[in-house]
Amino acid sequence: MIPERIKKGDTIGIIAPANPVTEENLEEFNNSILLMEVSGYKIKIGKNVFKNPTGYGATVEQKAEDLNNMFADTEVKMVWCAKGGNNSNSIFDLIDYELIKKNPKIICGFSDITSITNMIYEKTGLVTFSGQTFKGLANCETEYSYKEIIKRLQDGSLELGTKDDEYKILKPGEAEGILIGGNLNLMHDLVTGKYKMNFQDKILFLEELGLESPPEAVSHYLYYMKQNGVFDKIRGIWLGNYEHESGITIEQILKDTIGDEYNFPIIKSNNFGHTDRKTAIPVGIRARIDTNDDVKIKLLENCVK
């Protein structure tokens, strides 16, 4: 299910299903509002975006209410998550998946929002997006992330990133599959249980925040996925940003985890994740990795209409 692209004049709904927008975030948040208004868009803020009754965010009911209301609101053409944080998975039971099927529209975010974007795709078939969260849009050192949002969600471009982005080939090969993924910690949570993802024939894109996940934690997440058969099912891996003070890289940890056991291509770039440069990656769209090509990964289908 492909969502409609956004057009100038459209209304974008802002929600905070992870951490709340706090007073210390207001300057960034307001700058992002101004940036999108100057770009020709209207902004509607969910009524619970600033609420923090628990001390660590809005209640589960408040978070889910904002998400469901934005999908039900015919004026809103895109749902944009304000920031990351923790416990987005807390709203899984309260998301109205049937409502989303009947009112498909763009939803975008990264980091902790990975839980929601992947689960909505899994439960509804709606293509969702891993991209810059709303709060950080105007706070980036460059315009890269903003331009990637406009390029993908407004213009419908299939180009992932720019020609300046560098890719490492960790394992050569060719593969086609449906893109799913995002934050490694969150994807490892979706391997088993009531809310598990279908990893069969997928291309898995993964990034992680070094400040929160030291190398031994990254190793844990990857081994958990290996032990539960994820790497037996997927078609390829695309690694994104991971920086840790130890200097140990995510590609090194992945190699230590899986060695040469699997016959799928693996590539690495720094154009998504907890970094200034974030391309907007669709969850639920067919893509191709070809390490012999100048462009290592390509989208094969339109992700907005």
User: Which CATH number is 257's domain given?
Assistant: 3.50.30.60
Residue 163: closest CA among 178, 151, 155? 151
- On whether residue 162 sits in a domain, the answer given is no
Same domain, 201 and 134: no
Regarding whether 229 and 108 lie in a shared domain, the answer is: no
Q: What is the pLDDT of residues 151-182, one digit of tens each?
A: 999 999 999 999 889 999 999 999 999 999 99
The pLDDT of residue 244 is above 80: yes
Percent of the chain with pLDDT over 70: 100
- Sign (positive or negative) of CA dihedral 21, 25, 26, 31: negative
What digits encode the pLDDT tens for the residues 7-50? 999 999 999 999 999 998 899 999 999 999 999 999 999 999 99
Read off the pTM: 0.95
Alpha-carbon gap, residue 83 to 183, rounded angstroms: 14
- 176 and 248 co-located in one domain: yes
**Residue from 119, 75, 108 nearest 304 by CA:** 108
207-222 per-position pLDDT tens digit: 999 989 999 999 999 9
Flag whether pLDDT at 141 surpasses 90. no
Mean pLDDT of the chain: 96
Domain for residue 3, yes or no? no
Same domain, 187 and 230: yes
Does any domain span residue 46?
Answer: yes
Residue 180 lies inside a defined structural domain of this protein = yes
Structural domain includes residue 71: yes
Domain identity same for 134 and 172: no
Domain count, the chain: 2
Query: Containing domain of residue 115, as a range?
Result: 11-139
Judgement on whether residues 38 and 84 belong to the same structural domain of the protein: yes
- Judged by DSSP in three states, 290 sits in strand
Burial 195-213 (b: 16+ CB within 10 A, else e): eebebeebbbbbbbbbeeb
SS3 content of the chain, % helix, strand, coil (to 5): 35, 20, 45
Residue 122 has pLDDT above 90, yes or no: yes
Tell me which residue of 176, 177, 249 sits closest to 218, measured CA to CA. 249
What gap in Å lies between CA 85 and CA 113, rounded to an integer? 8
Residue range 119-124: average pLDDT? 98
Same domain, 131 and 174: no
Contact call for residues 84 and 115 (beta carbons, < 8 A): no
Distance CA 13, CA 66 (A): 9
User: Which tokens go with 33?
Assistant: 């509002």
Give pLDDT, residue 138: 83
Do both 133 and 172 map to the same domain? no
186 and 63 in a single domain? The answer is no
> Which domain CATH number covers 80?
3.40.50.10740
Are residues 183 and 123 part of one domain?
no
